[in-house]
Amino acid sequence: MKQRNKKSNQQLGVVIVGHVDHGKSSLIGRLLHDTDSLPAGKKEELEAICEKRGVPFEWSFLLDAFQAERDQAVTIDTTQIFFSTAARNYVIIDAPGHREFLKNMISGAAQADAAVLVVDATEGVQEQTRRHAYMLHLLGLQQICVVINKMDKVDYSAEVFSKVSKESVDYLKSIGLNAGHIIPISAREGDMLVERNTNMPWYKGKMLTEALDALELSSPAVALPLRFPVQDVYRFEEERVLVGRIETGTLNKGDTIFFSPTNEKAVVTAIKSWPEEKDSLKASAGESVGITLDDRIFVERGHLGSSEKNLPILSNVFRANIFWLSHTPLKVGNSYKIRYGTREARVTVQSIDNLIDTQDLERQEDASEVARNAVAEVTLRARDMLPIDAHDMNAKMGRIVIYEGYDVAGGGLINMEGYPDQRQSAEPKSENIYKVMHSVTPDMRAQRFGHYGGIFWFTGLSGSGKSTLAVAAEKEIFERSMNAYVLDGDNVRYGLNSDLGFSPEDRAENIRRVGEVSALQASSGVIVLSAFISPYQADRRKARAAAPSYFHEVYIKADLETCESRDPKGLYKKARSGDIKQFTGIDSPYEAPSNPDLVVDTEKNDIETCVKQIVDYIVENVGLGEIGEKEVAIENRVVSIKQR
Amino acid sequence: MSDNLAELEARSIYIIREAYARVNPMAMLWSIGKDSTAMLWLVRKAFFGRVPFPLVLLDTEQEMDEVYAFRDMLTKEWDLPVINHMCPPEEEMDQTLPPATRAAMRKTEGLKSLLLEYKFKGVVCGIRRDEQGLRAKERVFSPRSLDGAWDFKDQPAEFWDQYKTEVPDDCHVRIHPILHWTELDIWRYMKQENIPLCDLYFAKDGMRYRSLGEKNITKPVPSNASTIDEIITELETTNTSERDGRAMDKETEDSFEKLRSQGYM
């Protein structure tokens, strides 16, 4: 390849797309030949292959390297080949046009900075022309050249060109794409690629190579806010290094980096280099880096680093414009694994809001499934809060890949329209809030009541014995002249939380409110016994975060079989018969505590033993003996979470 | 990033770290040639001088003496975790294959027995898209069945740097961190990073090796390039292909496809 280093170092990725047989591979072959980018003897080799097969010379054989591709004269998989003009270097990505190979087309096109859409002058816009154009739009590709190919077959007619180009541009416009250039070409004759030739004197615009040279590289991700998805955490001797690629923005040594969804922050003490001794001071979008922090905050793969000022949205629900590639349709209610950045999450399809026909752009509302090769707008719900960027705010981060089993089954762009940032719910919504500084301290209260406040959070399956034990322990503690109060799931749902049902998000809100009420009660000096199934670890973590220094997680342990055989309220029976939906343990998950403060086994022990175990634990933990920095914990949550 | 090499490097490091985070246990094929040695350098960069998985030479005892000597020197100097894995003898290969393809098959069989013995879920290979038309169609993470077969007609979708990192029990993933590099990129990087290299690449008496394979199936090409700078200049103006000295690519139109679909690198 000649003179590859004489130009700009930047390399532009160009994908060639279009309907099957409209001449994509031939265009590439011709382009490589005319720009002198083929190895010596390659053309002769192809001529020999064609002769041996008894077919006319085919440029497409150059890229169709598979025997099967040459046998069937069809491109199966995407391929990449390098070529250059006087101005710069290119990677040409050939994408198969056949409908069967859409996943390969997407695999190719997703790597490109720009696209050339090939349309056959004799056939005009066809099914795959539209589908590919729509995919370019879904992949976020903005720079598009349209070439009207096979002009030699229509006698280089300006009218045909004008008609076909109008048809192409109209479709692109309807999906919000603008063609930078529309160029009449003949790949076979080499017209308007590298040479203008004399066949189309009526065309005054740019030739293809000129149009490509005029394209800009994709907009610099450096200008966007910092996004640093943590890829891994390496522990070397004394050092802990967070590695990952800066997707957008820049990071400097000495910056404060804020991690989502944990809301933890620390200062960057080094951006490491190897083998250089001297570490870097700055790193920006595209760089794979390793950083060290001044504080040993909890960080793991999947956490997203940003600046404090420009945070990603936190949400457990979002909308996505997706394409679907799997043979099994995507269905409402199905659960899938998604990945974006380095994060992996489980989502459930809440609704298919619009099914889009890429041919006539008709929209079908409220469909029940998305078939293979179709595109749709869907609403996805995750169990945990996810740090999210909408695609229109951050094109690099705002896109997801959907997995089905081991396989990539689809992908799409995130759209947050209509969904609020839920990070706010952890912080006051109104700005005009000033905390009242109590003149009565926890110690003063403790002196008065003879004990400190505390939250003893009973979690376990329905029927495990939470309420029974809480009520018994409350009585026992009360009789010892201590102030205890039971918050029970059913009672709270009659009043404070009467507006909430049993969907995952309502359950989360239920627990959030109970967590806050428990925190208020505990800081007023009460021993709170909160008895809630609280099936999700994330929700219990939040309840703990509301008052970490008061919080004790008490796991009331009994397996599903035992609880179901007890069935004190007859609820399991109803759940089994389908009368109750989303019942924990039956068709809704229970996440047992991974590290509870106290485990009370109600399978092995009788009620009396369990109550004694609980009361002993409570008395031990609210006694006057241990005085902590409880006020600090309430006033500054970030600090207290960190100390946990 | 303004510099093309920095961009290539960052992408490769991302892929290597992604493999390490997701695929376990894994190993890297180190043929001691320029590509896998450049890749080894990238691994050391990714882990700040460490190599956290074994490096495997699929040994046919047919490598050139200089290759073995270079391997031993670097292994000692960089303290590398190397596995020398013997390939089965040529007599055990399919005798209907043309001779050079048959010799190359030994590596394929060696890789299979390596996977059986060590149960690796991932194998890092230093292939590049610009080497050969079939390799151009590869994925960065390419799943294989136990016998190494490459189902090129139904490759997984791969986009936005999300890979197929999980495979069923009896399968493994080939990981290709330098797939997007060209031959010239490798040489420029070698120069920039001052990476040590086997002498055979540099011309002696008007001949040099452009690609290193086993001695029975690889030939030197005419060249006077005896320094990295001269090699870079030579590549900028040459029109012959890199694998010109490799016999097995050309015996029949599809000999390389046959090799690859049966598990060759």
- CB of A408 less than 8 A from some CB of B: yes
Coil, strand or helix at A631:
helix
A276 pLDDT above the threshold of 50:
yes
Domains annotated for chain B, with CATH where assigned, are 4-181+251-261 (3.40.50.620), 197-249 (no CATH)
Among A353, A315, A357, A363, residue whose Cα is nearest residue A332: A353
* 8 A C-beta contact, residue A4 and residue B184: yes
- Summarize the confidence of residues A76-93 as an average pLDDT: 78
pLDDT at A260 over 70: yes
Q: Which residues of A touch B168 (CB under 8 A)?
A: 406
Give the minimum alpha-carbon distance from B86 to chain A in angstroms, rounded to a whole number: 31
| Separation CA A2–CA A572 (nearest Å) | 75
Confidence of residue A83 (pLDDT cuts 50, 70, 90): confident
Statement: residue A220 has pLDDT above 90 = no
Q: Is A430 a catalytic residue?
A: no
Using pLDDT thresholds of 50, 70 and 90, give the confidence band for residue A61: confident
What secondary structure does DSSP assign to B56-100, as a single string? EEEE-S-S-HHHHHHHHHHHHHHT--EEEEEPPPGGGS-TTS-HH
Task: Note whether B164 contacts A111, CB cutoff 8 Å.
Answer: no
| Spatial separation of the C-alpha atoms in residues A250 and A305, rounded to whole Å | 11
- Is the pLDDT higher at B206 or at A82? B206
pLDDT at A429 over 60: no
pLDDT of A634 above 50: no
Beta strands in A121-231 (DSSP E): 143-149, 179-184, 228-229
Contact B47 A234 (CB under 8 A): yes
| Interface residue B4 vs chain A (CB under 8 A) | yes
Q: Would you give the distance in Å from CA B31 to the centre of its chain?
A: 6
A3-49: pLDDT as tens digits: 334 455 567 889 988 898 898 888 988 888 888 877 767 778 778 87
* Superfamily of structural domain A221-306: Translation factors (2.40.30.10)
Among residues A353, A266, A256, A356, the alpha carbon closest in space to that of A309 is found at A256
Q: Using alpha carbons, list the distances in angstroms from residue A360 to A127, A130, A140, A168, A368.
A: 10, 9, 20, 13, 20
Mean pLDDT across chain A, nearest whole number?
A: 85
Q: What was the pLDDT predicted at A493?
A: 84
Residue B25's pLDDT is 93
Closest of A71, A76, A67, A68 to residue A25, by C-alpha: A76
Token pair recorded at residue A20: 């099957």
Q: Start-end ranges of CATH 3.40.50.300 in chain A? A: 11-213, 442-643
Q: What are phi and psi of B148, to 5 degrees?
A: 85, 0
Burial class (CB in 10 A: 0-12, 13-18, 19+), A28: buried
- What pLDDT is stored for residue A640 in this prediction? 27
- Token digits for A450? 């003879």
**B-chain residues within 8 Å CB-CB of A82?**
130, 182
Indicate whether A120 pLDDT > 80. yes
CATH topology of domain A11-213: Rossmann fold (3.40.50)
Structure tokens at A31: 């382009």
Architecture of the A442-643 domain:
3-Layer(aba) Sandwich (3.40)
pLDDT of residue A638: 29
CB contact under 8 A, B1 and A107: no
Where is pLDDT greater, at A94 or B201? B201
- Alpha-carbon span A44 to A64, nearest angstrom: 16
Please write the tens of the pLDDT for every residue from A158-177: 999 999 999 999 999 988 88
Closest CA–CA distance from residue A285 to any residue of chain B (Å): 7
Lowest mean pLDDT, pick from A321-325, A337-341, A586-590:
A586-590
pLDDT at A198: 93
Question: What span, in angstroms and rounded, lies between the C-alpha atoms of B19 and A89?
Answer: 29
Contact: A110, B160; criterion CB under 8 Å: yes
Cis peptide bond N-terminal to A442, omega within 30: no
**What confidence category does residue A52 fall into, taking pLDDT thresholds of 50, 70 and 90?**
confident
Which letter does DSSP use for residue A465 in this model? S
Give me A552's structure tokens.
């004790």
The pLDDT value given to residue A383? 83
Mean pLDDT of A454-471: 94
Predicted-assembly ipTM surpassing the 0.85 threshold: yes
Which is the CATH superfamily of the domain at A313-418? Answer: Translation factors (2.40.30.10)
Mean pLDDT of A133-155: 92
- Please check the confidence at residue A272 and state whether its pLDDT lies above 80: yes
**Integer Cα distance of B22 and B14 in angstroms:** 12
Determine which of A6, A78, A101, A104 to mutate to test the interface with B (most B C-beta atoms within 10 Å).
A104
> DSSP characters for A525-580?
T-EEEEE-----HHHHHHHHHHSTTTEEEEEEE--HHHHHHH-TTSHHHHHHTTSS
Rounded average pLDDT per 10-residue block, chain B, 265 residues: 81 97 95 94 96 94 90 95 92 81 85 92 92 82 82 83 88 94 92 94 91 81 92 82 67 71 76
Contact call for residues A286 and A67 (beta carbons, < 8 A): no
pLDDT for A632 equals 32
Instruction: Output the CA torsion sign for B113, B117, B118, B121.
Output: positive
Q: How confident is the model at residue A70 (pLDDT cuts 50, 70, 90)?
A: low
pLDDT tens sequence across A464-504: 999 999 999 999 999 988 999 999 877 888 888 888 887 77
Distance CA(A402)–CA(A415), nearest Å, equals 15
- The confidence band for A431, taking pLDDT boundaries of 50, 70 and 90, is low
The whole-angstrom separation of Cα A181 and Cα A157 is: 18
- Tell me, yes or no, if A51 comes closer than 8 A to chain B by beta carbon: no
For A396, which residue in chain B has the nearest alpha carbon? B160
The position carrying tokens 């090939």 is A118
- A26, A307, A315, A534: which one is catalytic? A534
**Cα dihedral sign, A623-A624-A629-A634:** positive
Alpha-carbon dihedral B90, B91, B97, B98, rounded to 10 degrees = 60
Identify the bridge partners of residue A344 per DSSP, sorted by sequence position. A339
